[in-house]
Structure formats: structure tokens, C-alpha cells
Structure 1
Amino acid sequence: MPDTPGVAKAPRRRRNWRHNETRASEKTVAKRVSALDHQALTKFAEAQGVKVSVLLEPFVTELIKQAHEYCEKNGEALETAKAS
């Protein structure tokens, strides 16, 4: 029979993952792709010696630029979101 102490252990304090979470940015822009497309993108990026995100970055930057120009043209006032 195992030794059991006569005193109960204090419950372990659970860590709050929200206090340890670090994110590179506030929001993510993503597109779901098939497993075959993902494999092809990964292999292509590896052949270039970079990550897939590096290949996508110029296109996303241009898209964001166009979106801001669109909003300015239509008089849309964009505000930065406040973290809660």
C-alpha cells in the first residue's frame, strides 16, 4: 500500500495562458487551402529558401494599400481598435 500523508496537498494554481500569450499582430488575414495546395506552397517556398509568409507578404501589403486607398476615396474614417 502506498504511503499517503495525513495532510491534504494544496490544489495547484492553474496558469492563465492569456498572461503569457504573445502575438506578432492584432489580427490575422488567412485563406484556407487544400492539403495539396499547402504542400505545393511549402515545397515552393523551401526551394526559394524562405517561408510561405515571405512569399505572400508583397501581395498582402499591396492589398492592404489598395484597401486603405479605397476607404480614403469613399470618406471612410478608420480608427484603431482599442484593446480591452
Structure 2
Amino acid sequence: MWKPSLRRAGLPLGLRFHDLRHSYATWLVSDGVPINDVAKVMGHEQTSTTLDRYTHSTRDRDRRVLASFAAFSLPLPEQ
């Protein structure tokens, strides 16, 4: 059932069902879900397991980091 589904979706046949867990964790973290909540949903006792083994960089990581930095403003010193 898995391989025919991959073919129909045009996905690589080497994709494992377990890879969906990694994608799910990455999507949740990228969407701003707190890591404690993601770890709980994934069934991990340690948040480090979720971060170190299950989440991966996304293509838009650099853009998101720069946008966050640009949105951060410091008050101008009074003169």
C-alpha cells in the first residue's frame, strides 16, 4: 500500500513511512508550536530528542530568521 501511494503522489520510492514523523515535527516547530508541546505529541520525554533527531532545517529558515531580526527594533537613544 505504501509504495503504490508514493508512486501516485510522485514521491521518491525510498521515502519511509517513519519519515512522516520527522516532517510532522519539523512542520510543528516551524509553525511556532512550543517545543515542549511538540515533544509531548511525539511521545518524547526529552525535548532534546525532538530537536536533535526529529526536526530539520527548512528551505525558508534563512528568510524567517532575517524577517524576525528585521522586525526586532531597539528604542532610539534620547538626545
Task: Give the TM-score of the pair, scaled to structure 1.
Answer: 0.24
When Rg is computed on C-alpha atoms for both structures, the one with the higher figure is 1
Larger helix fraction of residues: 2
Task: Give the TM-score of the pair, scaled to structure 2.
Answer: 0.24
Higher relative contact order (CA 8 A, sep 6+): 2
